[in-house]
Amino acid sequence: MGSKVILDSPKLLDETLVTLTEACSHFPVRCSRPSIERWLRTGSRGTVLESALICGKRYTSVEAINRFVRNQLHVESDKSTPKRRRMSHKEIAEATRRYGLPEPLPATEPDTSCQNGCRETVQHF
């Protein structure tokens, strides 16, 4: 009976194989073996770390780690989240009229009439 090899990727056998414990030192950031096992099973951000099961022991390769990290960086740079910005007074007024909301309260101004020099905030209507 021969040894059993199960591959995620056929090219893995031509690469530099490392155990999962050794793989921890090949990542650019500190990681743990459970993290690597999770990346093998479920992946991260749509990318699974390639591995091979050889004689009952799980391996990955330095090249597979580099591909995985490169894909993570690529996915990260593709995220185009819009930047939050403040609405102008004109936009607020238009939105309140459009949705039938009550007019916003006037901005607060510091009360300069305080005798003790404190900075109380008073709303003027």
Average pLDDT estimate for 22-44: 90
Does 108 or 26 have the greater pLDDT score?
A: 26
Q: If you count DSSP H runs as helices and E runs as strands, how many of each does the chain have, helices first?
A: 4, 6
CA proximity to 72, closest of 39, 101, 100: 39
Which one has a higher pLDDT value, 7 or 22?
A: 22
pLDDT tens digits, residue range 77-104? 545 555 556 667 777 777 777 777 766 6
**pLDDT band at residue 75 under the 50/70/90 scheme:** low
Q: What is the pTM of this model?
A: 0.55
Confidence label for 63 from pLDDT (cuts 50, 70 and 90)? very high
